[in-house]
């Protein structure tokens, strides 16, 4: 099986987590924590593609996130870090972002339910609550 590599090129225009209007984000605009979370999300899509034929041709690129998907990621990561940052004593921020995605998908957090990843008719990646 080929190793998963996320295409980090391109841009997504999304609402900022804190305030202000839309902002055009590139991969480097994300924090390492947010990057880890996004990497884990796309790795889960890649794993799904090996099991389900309909997911084999799904694009694996940062620029394939729907604007509302990226806005939700930013908001959720900021809220999580605000609550649990003091607990993160070891490991990189990217590692904690990956843990957050995995733990969320396993139903660990009441405030952050598991998400279902869907592919829209527009070819963009969307998230909805409910696994």
pLDDT digits (tens, 9 = 90+) for 7-59: 888 889 887 777 677 889 999 999 999 999 999 998 888 776 666 655 556 66
pTM: 0.85
pLDDT digits (tens, 9 = 90+) for 61-119: 899 999 999 999 999 998 888 887 666 555 568 888 999 999 999 999 888 999 998 88
112: part of which helix (H) or strand (E)? none
pLDDT reported for residue 118: 87
90: part of which helix (H) or strand (E)? none
Write the DSSP assignment of 15-72 as a string of letters.
E-SSSSSEEEEEGGGS-HHHHHHHHHHHHHHHHHHHH-GGGTT---BGGGB-HHHHHH
| Residue whose C-alpha is closest to residue 117's, from 60, 59, 51, 42 | 42
Q: How many CA atoms lie within 13 A of 56 on its CB side?
A: 5
């Amino acid at each position: 099986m080929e190793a998963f590599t996320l295409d980090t090129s391109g841009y997504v225009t999304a609402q900022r987590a804190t305030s202000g209007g839309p902002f055009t984000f590139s991969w480097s605009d994300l924090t390492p924590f947010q990057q880890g979370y996004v990497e884990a999300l796309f790795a889960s899509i890649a794993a799904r593609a090996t099991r389900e034929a309909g997911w084999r041709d799904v694009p694996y690129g940062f620029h394939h996130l729907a604007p509302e998907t990226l806005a939700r990621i930013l908001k959720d990561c900021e809220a999580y870090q605000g609550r649990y940052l003091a607990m993160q004593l070891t490991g990189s921020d990217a590692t904690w972002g990956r843990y957050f995605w995995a733990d969320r998908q396993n139903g660990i957090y009441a405030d952050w339910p598991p998400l279902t990843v869907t592919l829209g008719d527009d070819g963009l990646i969307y998230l909805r609550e409910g696994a």
